[in-house]
Amino acid sequence: MNNTLIFFISLLISFIGVIPPGLLNVSAAKISLKEGHNRSFIFSFGVCIVVSVQVYIAVIFAKYLSLHPEVTVILKRVAFVIFLLVSAYFFSTAKSTNIQLEHSIKSKQSRFFQGMFMSALNVFPIPFQAYVVTTLLSFKWMNLEATTIGTYVSGAVMGTFMALYIYILFFDTLKNTKLASPKNMNYTIGIITLLVAIVTLINLVSGN
């Protein structure tokens, strides 16, 4: 698979992972509303710097997994159970969970370092991206050459920034729509994690 396609796959995966309301994207939107787009973009750049490091670590971890297939099989089984449970959780709480979109931003420090700090607290991208890269490797859709790794990391950073950019520019419009309601966002996340669980199961059964 050529690097252009790898870039867009990575971009799409990261975009989907960041687009549901969370601390990073909502914080970026709130900074934009209170202090303007420029300050929010600075915050987003800080987030993306850490994301690039996290994704690179994930790729290195995936490289280790590719050399130890017995560990990969175990992790795929664990991942299937986890994604299934996460999907069930979001479906079951879709009607009751209230996602707060009004986070108070009190920090007066550099928004760039604030973005880096808040992103560093979110370690989920590392195991998530490691699983994705391991899956791509198992299907032989990706290799671990330096240019390919750089392309994948670049796509992940771009996908993250695009998701933050949408929140920065369209937060006022999205926050009052049904699309951004807690119920619909939980259903969306539940469907995404269920699809990932199904892909993982197919991957296990096929022996890839």
Extents of the domains making up the chain: 3-98+105-206
Mean pLDDT in residue range 85-95? 71
Q: What pLDDT, on a 0 to 100 scale, did the predictor assign at position 135?
A: 82
Taking CA atoms, 103 is separated from 33, 64, 110, 150, 177, in Å, by 12, 39, 18, 34, 18
Q: Which of 94-103, 115-124, 172-181, 198-207 has the lowest mean pLDDT?
A: 94-103
Q: What pLDDT, on a 0 to 100 scale, did the predictor assign at position 38?
A: 86
Which pTM value belongs to this model?
Answer: 0.67
Q: Which range has the top average pLDDT, 53-57, 79-83, 113-117, 192-196?
A: 53-57
Amino acid identity, position 154 = S
Q: Report the C-alpha gap between 86 and 196 in whole angstroms.
A: 11
Q: What pLDDT, on a 0 to 100 scale, did the predictor assign at position 139?
A: 79
Taking CA atoms, 135 is separated from 8, 79, 100, 139, in Å, by 16, 11, 33, 6
